[in-house]
């Protein structure tokens, strides 16, 4: 029987916890990071029903005493770096999932480091003592179950699922507890009377495929039986590079949305070039006024890192959504570049990657590297009142069941 040696470590209410750490007056009080749209909510705020991605007005109605703070992304990045330093000092194999979570493989460490439970206990203590943040950890034989266990351990807890109790732990849980099962998939399952993971596990795989599609149905059947053969892997290549901006709930003009798109493209294309990467697929991420989400994408004939090419493509995707944006409202705009390649291996194509665009991008990057990002700006962003709450997205984090086994 396999041993429970996979750890999933997840910082609790990360952004809000950093704010409470750095400002003692916020400790023990309901804290919301972001006013227009909630980027993070402390557990004191969550007790009132506030959740991340909720509109600020609704959040304040649920929790009138909440303290709203502006996001400080540089502080979050620095805290993440400190935590990941401890992760890598704890286990030989660490697989980052996002800015605030990772898998750790502690196989073979029992003789010199103790049991996985003991390792996890020391890890939580180090993160608390050295970084000042709460960390929840799940321990199991598979990545999927470790992730489910860490969620069950929150806040600030540790849960070890031994091999002999895996299914008895997993099956009573609601289907939403499965990693990657979002609201749409859960709704389809519930419409067919599938409420718990145990009920899901008892369904014929053919029926699940008819409900959720062949690929998703098979994956659901596998994870409901805790069949997950993925290993924890470090040093895996980046799957995408992206950024997004929370827009709040007020209506925005097409010109304002275009300015945000320009800012996102500027940021993402620079990151592409900085990492010597180029991508073929441009992905537009949208969150409507009712906080449901949509994704649109276009794959180019050749990989690109050109700001002009990416912006032209993103604008074409946005153009097709103008009526939906007008009708439904827009609370978040995001951009991801996927199907990445290393530019050293590419033959750049003309005219999209011609010398003029390439020289302009290189020159702007050099100026910003030397004098700072604010020293030069796109003309489209001048005299624009729009303030984008943007951050670098951990785009390799699986967001849906379709992404779950693609690692």
What is the SS3 assignment for the chain? CCCCCEEEEEECCHHHHHHHHHCHHHCCCCEEECCCECCEECHHHHCCCCCCCCEHHHHHHHCCCCEEECCCHHHHHHHHHHHHHHHHHHCCEEEEEECCEEEEECCCCHHHHCCHHHHHHHHHHHHHHHHCCCEEEEEECCHHHHHHHHHHHCCCCEEECCHHHHHHHHCCCEHHHCCCCCHHHHHHHHHCCCCEHHHHHCCCHHHHHHHHCHHHHHHHHHHHCCCCCCCCCCCCCCCEEEEEEECCCCCCCHHHHHHHHHHHHHHHHHHHHHCCEEEEEEEEEEEECCCCEEEEEEEEEEEECCHHHHHHHHHHHHHCCHHHHHHHCEEEEEEEEEEEEEHHHCCCCCCCCCHHHHHHHHHHHHHHHHHCHHHCCCHHHCCCCCCCEEEEECCCCCCCHHHHCCC
Q: Is the pLDDT of residue 137 over 80?
A: yes
Q: How confident is the model at residue 394 (pLDDT cuts 50, 70, 90)?
A: very low
Q: How far is CA 371 from the centre of its chain?
A: 30
Selecting among 19, 44, 95, 101, the annotated active-site residue is 101
Q: What's the average model confidence in pLDDT over 2-21?
A: 95
Q: Is the pLDDT of residue 215 over 90?
A: no
Q: What is the pLDDT of residues 261-315, one digit of tens each?
A: 999 999 999 989 888 889 999 999 999 988 788 999 999 988 999 999 999 999 9
Catalytic site residue 191? no
Q: What is the pLDDT of residues 307-362, one digit of tens each?
A: 999 999 999 999 999 999 999 999 889 999 988 887 555 544 444 444 455 666 66
Predicted pLDDT of residue 352: 45
Whole-prediction pTM: 0.70
Predicted pLDDT of residue 353: 47
Average pLDDT, the chain: 85
Domains in the chain, start-ordered, CATH in brackets?
A: 1-162 (3.30.70.270), 171-224 (1.10.150.20), 240-404 (3.30.1490.100)
**Spatial contact of 52 and 39, defined as CB atoms under 8 Å apart:** yes
Q: What is the pLDDT of residues 140-193, one digit of tens each?
A: 999 999 999 999 999 999 999 999 999 999 999 999 999 878 888 888 899 999
Predicted pLDDT of residue 395: 39
């Amino acid at each position: 029987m396999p041993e429970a040696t996979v750890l999933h470590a997840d910082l609790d209410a990360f952004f809000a916890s950093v704010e409470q750490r750095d400002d003692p007056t916020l400790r023990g009080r309901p804290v919301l990071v972001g006013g227009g749209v909630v980027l993070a909510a402390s557990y004191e705020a969550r007790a009132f029903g506030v959740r991340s991605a909720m509109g600020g007005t609704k959040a304040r109605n649920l929790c009138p005493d909440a303290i709203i703070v502006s996001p400080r992304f540089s502080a979050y990045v620095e805290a993440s770096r400190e935590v990941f330093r401890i992760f890598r000092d704890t286990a030989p194999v660490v697989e980052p999932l996002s800015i605030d979570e990772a898998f750790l493989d502690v196989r073979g460490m029992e003789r010199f480091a103790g049991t996985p439970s003991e390792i996890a206990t020391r890890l939580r203590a180090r993160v608390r003592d050295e970084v000042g943040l709460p960390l929840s950890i799940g321990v199991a034989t598979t990545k999927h179950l470790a992730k489910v266990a860490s969620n069950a351990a929150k806040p600030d807890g540790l849960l070890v699922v031994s091999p002999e109790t895996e299914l008895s732990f997993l099956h009573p849980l609601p289907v939403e507890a499965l990693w990657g099962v979002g609201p749409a998939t859960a709704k389809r399952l519930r419409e067919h009377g599938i409420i718990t993971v145990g009920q899901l596990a008892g369904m014929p795989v053919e029926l699940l495929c008819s409900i959720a599609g062949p690929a998703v149905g098979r994956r659901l059947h596998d994870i409901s039986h805790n069949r997950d053969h993925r290993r924890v892997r470090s040093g895996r290549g980046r799957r995408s590079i992206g950024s997004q901006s929370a827009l709040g709930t007020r209506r925005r003009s097409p010109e304002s949305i275009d300015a945000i798109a320009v800012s996102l493209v500027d940021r993402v294309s620079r990151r592409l070039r900085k990492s010597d990467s180029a991508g073929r697929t441009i992905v537009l991420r949208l969150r409507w006024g009712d906080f449901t989400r949509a994704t649109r994408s276009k794959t180019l004939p050749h990989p690109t890192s050109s700001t002009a090419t990416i912006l032209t493509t993103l604008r074409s995707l946005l153009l097709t959504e103008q009526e939906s944006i007008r009708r439904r409202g827009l609370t978040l705009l995001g951009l991801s570049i996927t199907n990445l390649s290393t530019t050293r291996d590419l033959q750049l194509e003309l005219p999209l990657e011609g010398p003029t665009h390439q020289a302009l991008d290189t020159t702007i990057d050099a100026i910003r590297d030397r004098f700072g990002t604010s020293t030069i700006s796109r003309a489209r962003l001048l005299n624009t009142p729009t303030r984008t709450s943007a951050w670098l997205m951990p785009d390799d984090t699986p967001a849906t069941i379709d992404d779950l086994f693609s690692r």
